[in-house]
Amino acid sequence: MAKFQPGDQVRIRVGVPPTHFRTPEYVQGKHGQIETSWGPFPNPEGLAYGGDGLPAQPLVPSQVCPD
């Protein structure tokens, strides 16, 4: 079972962990909702760092750049 399910409310983590971190600053701390869950899949980069390969979460543009 995936960590997140469609409809779940999420907040994008803030900060820089000791490993490679691809979350841009302009989305850190933003809130959103999961639209689709593709389930776990093997991401080679994540696996190289001992991760579990969970997919990236979609962002709502209006949450990132409000008018």
Place of tokens 């990132």: 64
Interval 9-52: pLDDT, tens: 999 888 777 666 778 888 889 999 989 887 666 677 767 777 66
Question: Where in the chain are the domains?
Answer: 1-67
What is the fold, at CATH topology level, of the domain defined by 1-67?
SH3 type barrels. (2.30.30)
Q: What is d(CA 52, CA 19) in angstroms, rounded to the nearest whole number?
A: 14
- Mean pLDDT of the 3-11 span: 89
What predicted TM-score, i.e. pTM, was given to this entire model?
0.48
Of the ranges 2-6, 33-37, 51-55, which one carries the lowest mean pLDDT score? 51-55
- Mean pLDDT of the 1-14 span: 86
Q: CB count, 10 Å around CB of 30?
A: 15
Q: Which SS3 state, helix, strand or coil, does residue 9 take?
A: strand
* Inter-residue contact 59 to 36 (CB < 8 Å): no
Q: CB count, 10 Å around CB of 49?
A: 11
* Inter-residue contact 38 to 9 (CB < 8 Å): no
Q: What is the pLDDT of residue 41?
A: 65
